[in-house]
Amino acid sequence: MKTIQEIQSEIVEEFSVFSDWMDKYEYLIELGKNMPLIDEKDKTEGNLIRGCQSRVWLSCRNEDGRLHFAADSDAIITKGIISLLLKVYDGQTPGDILAANEDFIAQIGLKENLSPTRANGLVSMIQTIKGYAAAALETKKPMPDGDVEADIVAALRNVYDPEIPVNVYDLGLIYGIKGDETGKVSVTMTLTAPNCPIADEVVAQVREAVLDVPGVTDAAVELVFEPEWNTDMMSEEAKLELGML
């Protein structure tokens, strides 16, 4: 199987034959028509990617250590964008997905030719894909269902730090997620500062988000400050969002 880098290089080469961005959009549309489509039964709220202007559904299954994605969107360009990402990441290992960069996006000029809302959606798509990869790499007791942990990660991406416009997961505030066969989940997390005046509120939001995940029967959140949080714990997407890259 081709590596992520090899696939990205092929994409850059494919886009290089087009001099006009209208032609590139047409190519994206064609990609969208040929990507693995999500099953209709999986077009659920839980599979919606947050932060996208249009509705985008993404499902993931872990098969023999490789992640396989299916997606769909109700907007033709957005469907093309997610199909481009699936072309890169579908069938790859979680470790390779997390280690990969997205330089090819800049090389083909995609982000600069998107509206701000679509560009933000592109970042959200990448974050969600890498969230599935991060969840798959965690070594802990099995959750009651193979998709539950990925759903927990997706839910945590809807909880935001009160002072920074980035979700708690991509900020690196979630130190661990453990679950057992009964559906009980424990989350270890930190905050960007020990003296946060609404620490209890953030912890409560994290617990509520986890409890809302189907398959979770109970949730406990432990707040710790060792190791101390720093910006190195943030995801690449979070740093990009905050202009740190």
Q: Any idea which residues carry the catalytic annotation?
A: 52
Contacts of 204 (CB under 8 A, 6+ apart): none
Q: How far is Cα 145 from Cα 151, in angstroms, rounded to an integer? A: 10
Q: How far is Cα 129 from Cα 31, in angstroms, rounded to an integer? A: 18
* CA-based max dimension of the chain: 56
How far CA 155 is from CA of 7, 18, 80, in Å, comes to 30, 39, 25
How is residue 176 written in tokens? 């661990």
